[in-house]
Structure 1
Amino acid sequence: MAETEVKSNSCADDLEKHVMKVFEEATKDCEDKVLKEIFDSIGDYGDLNKYAISVFNSMANDKFIEVARELFKPRSESTAVLPDVAIYTVVIWACISAGKIMAAHKVYHHMIANGVAPTSCTYIILINTLATNSSSDVNFVGYAKKYFLEMLDKGMTPISSSYMAVFKAIARQEPVEKAREFLEQIQTKGFSPKLDVPHFDVAYMEEAMNALKMSDLLINATTDNKLQKLYREWSTTRKPLRDEFPKMYKALKADGNDDQAMELYRRAWDTNIIPEVVLHTGVIEDCLKAGNTECALKAYRTMLATGVAPNSYTYTVLIKGLTADPHFVEDAKKCLLEMMDKGMRPNAATYTAVIEGFARQEDKEAEEEGKQFVEVMMGKGLEPNVKAMMEVLKGRPKGVIRRVISIVLSKLKG
């Protein structure tokens, strides 16, 4: 019994030494200072195992739990030592986490050259990373497609996020014919994504691709560096868009704009892509929150220049934001009238904000402009609701409230 235990321990020691050699091979060409510090801190198998556990936990948090378990499955029941593929994949993960995608790809090639077969986890990490960063290297989309097809050839099933990442990379970098070709290839190999991924339907593909390309187009539609940065952040970061979409939908419904709300929902459902109006409106809101009214107005003009139609919520956000700056009250008035000319009805908070913008100037000329604005607004079929306006004006200085109501009543009496 004791002899068997000694042999078992000896076998485990040999495997651990082997694994450390694999780790050294995988990291030998690392030139990045940050990565070198991480790799140099791993002096023995115990350190490597701890690092591997931290990577496993990160993968599990990213919903890769099943493929992560497959990757880190021990060589055998008797020796809980990490397999070679797990070591290479951990190094690939480390490179990607440090933003070194080319280095990660190089490690993958080392892995293949040394006869180590990738698991589903290895492929998924590479595919998602290469596809997501395809704009930084024209070759990345090709590699992402190649590895996706390799997975299918080996009987592995890519997850939906990998399919979506590759699809979006093709949409941004290649013509629609390439997307159709890719769809035919994966269909031939028996791949069908989950039912909640409508991009698989060719009928929606071209519209979805055009929407994705628009995200890149609008970044180049302005020369304002701050605005370009905002567009890039909104285009590449999913969470703000996911948060903005329900906010816009609920606001449209609350104001009685059911048709616009359903159109927003339909477009998102049909293409599985959040409509561009959401992105533009989010950028406008960010500009206004930062106190940069000029930037918000530029964002609105960029929106129009790229052919994206604002909805009632976009106008509400923009108009109320413009009126907060006395230098842009005239712009707010123009936007509100433009909104009405497009058949959209502003809510009480929106038209009150414009009238208040004139009233706050405490100037007879501005007050007359306010009265003319109310007259034009009424001529377009919208009569101000004084009761609703009083609700909006709660908490304002009494002088401002008095001037706002005076402007409105002068026209209502007439």
Structure 2
Amino acid sequence: MTAQAALGHRPTRMLLTGDHAVAYGALRAQPHVIPVYPITPQTPVLEKLVELAEAGELRGDLMTVESEHSAMAACIAASLAGARVFTATASQGLALMHEMLHYAAGARAPVVMVNVNRTLASPWGFWADQTDSLAQRDTGWIQLYCESAQEALDTVLHAFRVAEAVLLPAMVVIEAVYVSHTLEPVEVPEPALVARFLPPFTPTLRLDPARPRGVGGTATPAQWRGNRLAMTAAMDRALEEVETAGRLWGGLTGRASAAAEAYRAADAEVLLVTAGSIAGTAREAVDRLREEGIPAGLVRLRLFRPFPAGEVTARLRGARRIAVLDRNCSVGSGGIFAQEVRAALQVALDGPPPVLSYLLGLGGINVSVERVIQVGRDALRRPLPCPGPILEEAL
């Protein structure tokens, strides 16, 4: 008997793409306001939301606006008026929102947004690449990375719970094509089950025309500093909230989650680290490396902001080599997840294991199991030091 059946709930089983799964996640959260501007490969999210609204299932106000910048401005205003708010975007749309992302976090507006990872121009493209969301890492948004359509639906609900608990906006991230447009079996939970997990939004700040007040006006240096310190404290609390949400959801559905998740990592000499859809490929590669006699393991980063440094360090500290698989690139530095992993280990450990940065799947190129196996072998034999990113051609 499943956890949901034991509680008297029966989920609806559907065949959904990742885009449609996040739309059903939003449906179950029942946001009051949904400002969205369409952009490939996010457009099916909006299309499904429109279908659900026309069917009378989605009761919130669905706003079509003239740009992504306007969409986020509307999100902030609605959130500060006391509404639960959802939106979605991708790539160039997220880049256009950048100014307003800072506004949302600074205003402590717990907006939830799905970003469908897509290559940034130029050149133009529609393929999976995590640089668009990772480039927003300093805006004050919580960031959660999903491996599958089911996890995407679940994480939308987690994001609302966490964001509204700490009053910071949250970004749920799925990859173009590999998650956004791939059909998978998905369980859509009953509304009554979601109600046990996600409480109604009770805003601490609510703009009211009857009692005029301003938000985001000119601050003194001390006030500005105080705002950033409060945001930092809230972001620190978000880590605990993410872990709590993962445990509670696991108890309700049987699908528990954590900020950083390990697979066959306890005795691993080489640990692969990645985020997003590559994780499934990496698990199979770990199994095959083990068959070859190479003690490999995997750590999947589900949470990126706040970065779960303690959890990552605990899972990586015993390895001989660490290989970070990045589907992103900070030009001039290399893989962004590798930067964060190195920083966490350097602070926490005296003589941390070497961290090797591998750039895989840039521009949406498929990452095969065989390619990840090559990484596992290469990581154990590559001469050190090796500070720069390692390209697929070097394997």
Q: Which has the higher contact order (CA 8 A, sep 6+)?
A: 2
The structure whose Rg is larger is 1
- The TM tier, using the shorter chain, reads under 0.3
Relative to its length, the structure with more helix (as a share) is 1
After TM superposition, the score normalised by the length of structure 1 is: 0.26
After TM superposition, the score normalised by the length of structure 2 is: 0.27
Relative to its length, the structure with more strand (as a share) is 2
